[in-house]
Every structure is written in structure tokens, then in C-alpha cells.
């Protein structure tokens, strides 16, 4: 039995399966140019053996494969329907270059010391046990291999104009709810410590900003789609006033040329030391 132990299951998405896939698509594509720029800055190069964890419907996978034409890409994802979605869409990429693995990030089944570069995008905020995941990725990275975690931190969520006065309390309530289910919407700030405690070195953290004036408003329409918040209101997680303000923001972003929004994503980096020795394999 694969250990999901996370708060993300697309079958429970309030938008429904196909709309949620579309939301993930626009969200991944809006930031890709900047994220890829930073990934390269952290050392991602064509020809590397690359692992993507929690690859979902494979929009980032596709960009990795197309931008790194001499690399082998492995997309690891626990959900078989999302993996099929990616497999079907990416059938044009030779199977010698693109591998799909249906496993959990906690126990990938992949061999020790195998990957030059690993990317986990919007996975860690959902994990019940991020340390275990970071340790597993460490095991399968080559000595000198690198990990970049791209994630959120709702303390620096971003902004929307016209302002939603109750946005801070909405964010706090949604984060508390996520925490009650075992996730962490403030994960961004804790990533350097997480990586350090796992043994990664040369740590760094940075942010990438998506702005509707630069990247188009489409992704933000989906982000603020009021359907996403209805369930939280119905469950009593947010109150009527907060829901009404979100509804107004959703209408603004859909209809008003004055409206704009921006969102921040955290990129945390760490390297597995080049002279790493698996302590468990040392015989005494
Ligand atoms: C929010 S989606 C992000 C998808 C993609 N990385 C992106 O940026 O669009 C999180 C993904 O992590 C997957 N996931 C959740 N728990 C997992 C686990 N334990 N192991 C591997 N993947 C997992 C989910 O099925 C989902 O596809």
C-alpha cells in the first residue's frame, strides 16, 4: 500500500477533477519561465538525470522534458489518474527520456544515488511528514545532487487589488484548517531548517512572484474561483463576511480591468554533500 499521508487528493478537489487540472495547468505555466530561470541558476543543466516529485498532471514535467532535450526525466506521482493524464498527453516524448513512477515520495523505490537534480513543486505543503520525504529524496540524489522545493508560504501569499480587507483572516483560517489535516500552508519559511536537518548543504531560499499584469489574469481567475471557497464557508471554516469579500474579489478579477493580483512562491535549495557516505552501509 502506497503511503499518501498528504492533504492533496484530486478526487476531493472542490472544483472537480477537470477544472482542478486546468487550475494546476495555468498555475504551473504562469510561473514556469521564472522558476526555470531559478532552477538553472541553482545548477539545473541539460543532460542531467532529473526527478520530479508529486508531478501531478505533468505540466512542469513537460516543460522540463522540452527544455532539457538531452536529459532523462522521471516523474513520480502517487495518483494513478494524474499519472495517466500526464502519460497520455506526453506520449510524444520518447519513453527512453521520460519515465513515470507511481510511488509515494516517502518510499520511492528508486535506487540510491541516482539523480543529479530533484524538483518538488507544491508537494511539501501537503505532506504530513516533510522530513521523511526530504530524507528519501536525499537518499536517491547522487552525491552532489541538488533539490529545489517550490512551495508557498501564506505569510507572504501576495496581494490583490481592489484589496480584500479580510484576506489575512481568511488565509489564517485556511492555513489552520490545512494544519488540522496534517498539511502546512506556512511551509516556505521552514524549508531551510528542514533541508539542514536532513543533511543538505549550501542552502538557499528565494521567491518568485507571479503578477497578473505580467503573466495574464487567467490563472488568478482560477485561483480566486469562488467555487474553491464555497466548501470552506459551508463547513463553517470562513464566515459569511469573509465569503462575500472573496466573492467580490472573484467578480473583480473576472470583470474589472482595474483589478490585478500577485502571488509569491518560495524556492528552497539544498545540495547533498559530494562526499556523502551511506552510514548504514558501513560495516564495523
Ligand atoms: C498541488 S499538486 C501539484 C502538482 C504539480 N507538482 C504542479 O506543480 O502543478 C500536488 C501533487 O502531489 C501529489 N502527491 C500527494 N501526496 C503524494 C505523495 N505522498 N507522494 C507523491 N505524490 C504525492 C498529488 O497527487 C498531486 O499530484
The CATH number for 129's domain is: 3.40.50.150
- The answer as to whether 64 is a domain residue is yes
Nearest CA to ligand 1 atom 25: 79
Task: Report which ligand 1 atom has the smallest distance to the Cα of 4.
Answer: 19
CA of 93 to the centre of ligand 1 (A): 21
The confidence score (pLDDT) of residue 92 equals 98
* Average pLDDT for 273-279: 74
Task: Report which ligand 1 atom has the smallest distance to the Cα of 27.
Answer: 9
The confidence score (pLDDT) of residue 266 equals 98
Q: Which domain holds residue 100?
A: 11-157+184-211+263-274
In the chain the first and final C-alpha atoms are separated, in Å, by 34
Which candidate, 26, 2, 6, places its Cα nearest to that of 223?
26
- The answer as to whether 162 is a domain residue is no
- The verdict on the CB of residue 115 being under 6 Å from ligand 1 is no
Is the pLDDT reported for residue 284 higher than 50? no
Bridge partners of residue 52, in order along the sequence: 75, 119
- The answer as to whether 252 is a domain residue is no
The confidence score (pLDDT) of residue 275 equals 82
- The verdict on the CB of residue 55 being under 6 Å from ligand 1 is yes
Tell me the best of 77, 127, 136, 182 to mutate to test the pocket of ligand 1, counting ligand atoms within 8 Å of each CB and taking the most: 77
- The answer as to whether 237 is a domain residue is no
pLDDT band of residue 282 (cuts 50, 70, 90) is: low
Tell me the best of 14, 36, 123 to mutate to test the pocket of ligand 1, counting ligand atoms within 8 Å of each CB and taking the most: 123
* Average pLDDT for 257-277: 93
- The answer as to whether 171 is a domain residue is no
Is the pLDDT reported for residue 194 higher than 70? yes
Domain count, the chain: 1
CA of 218 to the centre of ligand 1 (A): 22
The confidence score (pLDDT) of residue 201 equals 98
pLDDT band of residue 1 (cuts 50, 70, 90) is: low
Which candidate, 80, 47, 16, 12, places its Cα nearest to that of 222?
16
Tell me the best of 78, 108, 133, 151 to mutate to test the pocket of ligand 1, counting ligand atoms within 8 Å of each CB and taking the most: 78
pLDDT band of residue 207 (cuts 50, 70, 90) is: very high
The per-residue pLDDT for range 35-60, each reduced to its tens digit, is: 999 999 999 999 999 999 999 999 99
- The answer as to whether 66 is a domain residue is yes
- The verdict on the CB of residue 122 being under 6 Å from ligand 1 is yes
Contact 76, 48 (CB under 8 A): no
Other CB atoms closer than 10 Å to residue 113's CB: what's the count? Answer: 14
* Average pLDDT for 263-278: 90
- Helices 130-140, 187-198: inter-axial angle, 10-degree rounding: 50
Q: Considering the entire predicted model, what is its pTM?
A: 0.95
Mean pLDDT of the chain: 95
- The answer as to whether 1 is a domain residue is no
- The answer as to whether 55 is a domain residue is yes
**Helix residue ranges, H only, 183-283:** 187-198, 212-215, 218-223, 227-234, 240-255
Three-state SS for 261?
strand
Amino acid at each position: 500500500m502506497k503511503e499518501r499521508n498528504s492533504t492533496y487528493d484530486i478526487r476531493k478537489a472542490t472544483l472537480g477533477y477537470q477544472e482542478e487540472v486546468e487550475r494546476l495547468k495555468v498555475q504551473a505555466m504562469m510561473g514556469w519561465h521564472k522558476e526555470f530561470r531559478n532552477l538553472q541558476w541553482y545548477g539545473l543543466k541539460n543532460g542531467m538525470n532529473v526527478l520530479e516529485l508529486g508531478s501531478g498532471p505533468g505540466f512542469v514535467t513537460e516543460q522540463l522534458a522540452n527544455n532539457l532535450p538531452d536529459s532523462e526525466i522521471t516523474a513520480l506521482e502517487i495518483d494513478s489518474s494524474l499519472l495517466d493524464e500526464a502519460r497520455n498527453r506526453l506520449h510524444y516524448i520518447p519513453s527512453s527520456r521520460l519515465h513515470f513512477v507511481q510511488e509515494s515520495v516517502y518510499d520511492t523505490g528508486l535506487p540510491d544515488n541516482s539523480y543529479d537534480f530533484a524538483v518538488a513543486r507544491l508537494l511539501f505543503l501537503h505532506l504530513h511528514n516533510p522530513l521523511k520525504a526530504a530524507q528519501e529524496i536525499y537518499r536517491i540524489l547522487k552525491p552532489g545532487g541538488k533539490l529545489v522545493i517550490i512551495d508557498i508560504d501564506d505569510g507572504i501569499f501576495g496581494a490583490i487589488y481592489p484589496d480584500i480587507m479580510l484576506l489575512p483572516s481568511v488565509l489564517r483560517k485556511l492555513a489552520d484548517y490545512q494544519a488540522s489535516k496534517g498539511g502546512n500552508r506556512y511551509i516556505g519559511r521552514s524549508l531551510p531548517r528542514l533541508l539542514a536537518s536532513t543533511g543538505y548543504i549550501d542552502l538557499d531560499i528565494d521567491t518568485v512572484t507571479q503578477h497578473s499584469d505580467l503573466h495574464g489574469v487567467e490563472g488568478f481567475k482560477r485561483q480566486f474561483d469562488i467555487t474553491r471557497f464555497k466548501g470552506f464557508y459551508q463547513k463553517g471554516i470562513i464566515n459569511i463576511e469573509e465569503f462575500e469579500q472573496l466573492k467580490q474579489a472573484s467578480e473583480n478579477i473576472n470583470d474589472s480591468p482595474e483589478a490585478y493580483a500577485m502571488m509569491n512562491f518560495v524556492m528552497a535549495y539544498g545540495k547533498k554533500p559530494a562526499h556523502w557516505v551511506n552510514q548504514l552501509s558501513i560495516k564495523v
